[in-house]
Structure 1
Amino acid sequence: MDSGTDTSPAAFSFLTTAYRTERYIPETIESVLAQTRGDWELVVVDNGLSDEMARVVEPYLADPRIRLVRQDNRGYAGGIAAAVARARGRFLCVLDSDDHLMPEFCARVGAVFDAVPGVAAVACDAQLFTDDGPLPGGYMRSIGTARRRAGDERLTVRDVLGGEVPYYTAAIRCEAWEAVSAYASGLEEVDESVIVWLRLASRFDVRIIPDRLARYRLRGDSDSRDESTVENFERQLIRSFESGAEWAQTQEDFEALDATLRRLRYHQSLRRARWAFRDGDLPDARAAARAAFSHRHTVRAAVALSAVTVAPGPVRMLYPAKQRVAAAVSRVTAGITSRVQSR
């Protein structure tokens, strides 16, 4: 059905904190407006008092379901907190200001709540995309979760400790949100979404719809290639899982956690080896490659260690060409996928 401007009490409250995303947020708002189920509200927080952000959002305020809150920049968690304080829906849903919902998000997620009244949170998978179009695969596969859930399985602490961290845009009952202090854990230097899902899975019935009901943007202007930003992200993610030991109860839980930490530290060490080698720091490159091999005895780690130990000169000569080829392949793949999947 056409959602129109349904003014019935909101079931879904979308919490969108916006900072320096003026060029993206119109598409995000449009994706909410396109919902086939209309009992939602959208609280946009201008998290930085941007006159341009206010100008971009203002035309959408004609819809009574959309509201704008303006405040000084209080960080990501502070923006979400400001949105929660003004939310009136039964289910709270974080939605970043550059990502999208698929039209059936509210209808499909709401159907799970209707079918299983005891469910406290419902998550889904998401399609990866860039400014150039969709990318192959989905969010869950990108984080190493290959298995496809049936949709009626309960997410367990062991699942999360094993790396199955649901996509962040999910619907969480207000009571459960408050019970786990979502996005307000009080822990420092952690990825809050990991903590949220661990706390929810340890106390409530959480389900994951296997379909991609959202779109997760990988931005070309992000800091994902900046070493300090990546290093900080990796550190926070590892610390989050280290904190997860608090929720581990069985030997299998601890084994799942250990496997996840080894995997994260392995990729962190490989990245450090690659960037140290790029910068000509062979001692650090060798140390990082040895660390990667100690975490996981893979062929990739062994090759990296051999390359920086036995024949660093030829490898350094090949490295720029390899990077150019990889970048070209990525651009071509994204372009082909965009054309094939365009609507």
Structure 2
Amino acid sequence: MRQRPGGCWAGGPRARICRPSYLLPGNGMPAGGPDNRHFMMPPRVSVIIPCYNQGQFIDEAVASVLAQSFQDFEIIIVNDGSTDEETCRILAGYDRPKTRVVATENQGLAAARNNGIREARGRYILPLDADDRIGPAYLERAVRLLDERAELGIVYCRAQLFGAVDTEWRLPQFSLEEMLLDNVIFCSALFRRQDWQRVGGYDQDLKYGWEDYDFWLSLLELGRRVYRIPEILFYYRVSADSMVRARPRRHKLETFTAIYRKHQPLFSEHIEVWIDRLLDLREPYHEASLSLGPPGADGGVSPLVRKVDLDTRRLEFDLADSESRRPIRFLPANDYVVLTLERITCEVEGAGTPLTRWTSNADFQEGQTYFFGSTTPCFQVDPPLSPDGCRGRAKLIFELRYHAFGRECVPHFTAYHHRHPDGNHHADGNRNAAADNPGPHSRLTAKQAVFRRRLWLIRFFVSRPFEFFSRCRHYLLVRRSGLVDRDFYLQNDPAMDPLLVDPLIHYLE
């Protein structure tokens, strides 16, 4: 067996193992051989860093580990058959504290991680890609959680993107439902080495990636719990060509099919998650509903529901005799909506009685057209109370025209803003109501405030169309950062009414 530079020993064509730097001469190793306590006291954490032609980043990754507040760890770099001369040169003589190199033929990322973990002696494992970094407190926080809570199998944290993009990586909050739809845990989470052994490690047959997703699902099938540390302690590098190198759709289809078949019992047990998403994708529709009585007073009676779309012109709801005398709440959609309400009729035995008294929570109104900026749009309809009103089996008929739902409402709101820049038109109930209809005039000031505040939002985002996306991004970044103290800002500008103006937009303006 022939010694290579940097303390590496050639052990055959498939692997070369380098002794840790602390076992090399000049690094505290006794002349007579290694100190046995290094083998009697294994580290708590093994950080596994696969490296394929990324030698230019390896120092950053290793330095981020060496800077940890928790120091009971080892670092194992797996040179996965790199062909780049610079990477091979760096790793051939790599000499950093607590660090050793395992060299193999190129076998892919999953195999590289498995090869590193096989060499590991730590109780906990942290995979770390060669071009990423971790924050100084990551190991300390995660090890404490894994020590104290035996049910935990995966511990990760919030993450930051850097490189070509500089922003927080906003992955969905973990839940089993989210996890069954797509991976929401990045690869650099800590887990127990014994769990890796129980599930057989990373699946090396997944040649297109997503091996970490498959691995997390395997741990969930063991009944392991997941915890996300509410701090940014992981930094994921985004290279300039990341989008160019994105995998084709067919690769993801093939991989997810294999993952589903492997974890079929888990997916089958929660099949409603996929069916619900499928319904959203295949049958995009909205629902209108009719409820009786004031909010929260349905008495256990389920609302009457109708499917609606842009072609809907007429909705009918059957009412019993007693129900025709209760206040009626009509929700025309379950999303933002712009519609024209032409008439409401109460029909009994073919004879119709027009209803003329109703109010709404629309943000504003233009003639018979209502603009709802709420996901719970509502008309409050007063039923006829006269003796010749709706008696017997009544039918309530809404004749209306839908113009837009959801995000498609934005152009309608913008067009309204351009037609009425002073905001004089407000949703103050049915303008065609009888003269004795008091309407919600007592709430007019509050509605006007809400209207003007939303106009301020519209003006900020659409006043300069070419800056729309940059303004949206700027607004969201500042809002999520928490850098603007709303109360402090209002105290220093007492003339500003927070009901009329969004303090953050005022600040950005």
Give matches, 1:116-131, under 5 Å: 116-131=149-164
Rg bigger for which structure?
2
Within 2, Cα distance between the matches of 1:52 and 1:263? 50
Say whether 1:134 aligns with 2:166. yes
Partner of 2:74: 41
- How much does 1:188 deviate? 6.4
Partner of 1:55: 89
Are the aligned partners of 2:152 and 2:227 in contact in 1 as well (CA < 8 Å)? no
- How much does 1:182 deviate? 2.7
- TM-score normalised by the chain length of structure 1: 0.63
Are the aligned partners of 2:202 and 2:212 in contact in 1 as well (CA < 8 Å)? yes
Say whether 1:114 aligns with 2:147. yes
Partner of 2:257: 239
- How much does 1:11 deviate? 1.2
Letter in 1 for 2:89: R
| 1:152-193 deviation digits (Å, cap 9, x = unpaired) | xxx764442143631211111111111112312646666212
Within 2, Cα distance between the matches of 1:156 and 1:130? 29
**Higher normalized strand content (fraction of residues):** 2
Aligned partner of residue 272 in structure 2, secondary structure: helix
Give matches, 1:1-343, under 5 Å: 9-49=42-82, 50-57=84-91, 61-63=95-97, 65-131=98-164, 134-135=166-167, 137-140=168-171, 145=172, 147=173, 157-163=176-182, 165-184=184-203, 186=205, 191-209=210-228, 210-222=230-242, 224-226=243-245, 229-236=247-254, 238-239=256-257, 242-243=260-261, 244-248=263-267, 250=269, 253-259=270-276
- CA-based RMSD: 3.9
Letter in 1 for 2:231: D
Within 1, Cα distance between the matches of 2:102 and 2:61? 16
* Structure 2 CA distance for partners of 1:165 and 1:183, relative to 1, 3 Å: same
- How much does 1:246 deviate? 2.9
Within 2, Cα distance between the matches of 1:215 and 1:262? 36
- How much does 1:208 deviate? 2.0
- How much does 1:248 deviate? 2.9
Are the aligned partners of 1:127 and 1:134 in contact in 2 as well (CA < 8 Å)? yes
* Structure 2 CA distance for partners of 1:263 and 1:240, relative to 1, 3 Å: farther
Aligned partner of residue 257 in structure 1, secondary structure: helix
- How much does 1:120 deviate? 2.7
Are the aligned partners of 1:162 and 1:259 in contact in 2 as well (CA < 8 Å)? no
Are the aligned partners of 2:203 and 2:214 in contact in 1 as well (CA < 8 Å)? no
Aligned partner of residue 129 in structure 2, secondary structure: coil
Which structure 1 residue ranges, 5 or more long, are not aligned?
Answer: 148-154, 266-297, 302-324
Within 1, Cα distance between the matches of 2:254 and 2:277? 14
- How much does 1:37 deviate? 0.4
* Structure 2 CA distance for partners of 1:57 and 1:112, relative to 1, 3 Å: same
Within 1, Cα distance between the matches of 2:206 and 2:197? 16
- How much does 1:264 deviate? 9.8
Letter in 2 for 1:56: I
Within 2, Cα distance between the matches of 1:26 and 1:99? 10
* Structure 2 CA distance for partners of 1:16 and 1:62, relative to 1, 3 Å: closer
- How much does 1:19 deviate? 1.0
Aligned partner of residue 61 in structure 1, secondary structure: coil
Letter in 2 for 1:178: Q
Greater RCO, CA 8 A, separation 6+: 1
- How much does 1:55 deviate? 3.0
Which structure 2 residue ranges, 5 or more long, are not aligned?
Answer: 1-21, 28-37, 283-404, 409-465, 482-509
Are the aligned partners of 1:189 and 1:239 in contact in 2 as well (CA < 8 Å)? no
Within 2, Cα distance between the matches of 1:226 and 1:156? 29
Are the aligned partners of 1:47 and 1:74 in contact in 2 as well (CA < 8 Å)? yes
Within 1, Cα distance between the matches of 2:56 and 2:281? 33
Within 2, Cα distance between the matches of 1:164 and 1:60? 34
- How much does 1:30 deviate? 1.1
Range that drifts further, 115-124 or 213-222: 115-124
Are the aligned partners of 1:13 and 1:89 in contact in 2 as well (CA < 8 Å)? yes
